[in-house]
Amino acid sequence: MTDTQNQPPEKTDGMNTHTFESESSSGSPMQLSQSNANSLEGLHILVAEDCEITQVVFETMLEQFGCVIQVVENGQQAVEAIQDGSFDIILMDGQMPVMDGYTAAELIRKSEGANAGRIPILAVSASTLPDDMQRSQDCGMNEFMSKPIKEEQLQDMLLRNLPGGDTKVA
């Protein structure tokens, strides 16, 4: 392991989101503007979150963005939903009952195969510990956002990870 692999992910916005960049990624996350807000309309998002209050927060924000949402309560349900449906982005809590989000992300990455398209998996966690951020990156998640969730930061993170864009991959 190199020294840079042992360091926590780079903080991208001075607040609570982190983009994980792979060695093959180039450039910086796309510049965001208010005109990009319409780009989220019709986006299919899977929300894996066990806290009902946080589920409502996500639903409210994502519906305002015009997204189509499916909510599941644990990692096992997230893995099953991916097999049964088509999603553009996954918002994944790390700590959930039955199966945690880290294990679910690993299983989703394994099921995608080497040549398949990778669905952006965006970690959302109450933790801000460097170990949890590193664990998110290690299991294949693309970005990390700590709670409480802020609407503008969620919107920006989704826009950076739009399908067909320059998605950062761990």
Which CATH number is 130's domain given? 3.40.50.2300
pTM (predicted TM-score): 0.76
Residue 28 lies in a domain: no
Each of the 170 residues of the chain gets a pLDDT tens digit; together they read 444 334 433 433 333 544 544 333 333 333 334 445 568 999 999 999 999 999 999 999 999 999 999 999 999 999 999 998 799 999 999 999 999 999 999 999 998 876 567 899 999 998 888 888 999 999 999 999 999 999 999 999 999 999 865 444 44
Identify the CA nearest to 68 among candidates 54, 50, 88: 88
User: Residue 64 belongs to what domain range?
Assistant: 14-19+35-160
Residue 129 lies in a domain: yes
Number of domain units in the chain: 1
Sheet holding 68-72, edge to edge: 17-19, 143-146, 121-125, 89-93, 44-48, 68-72
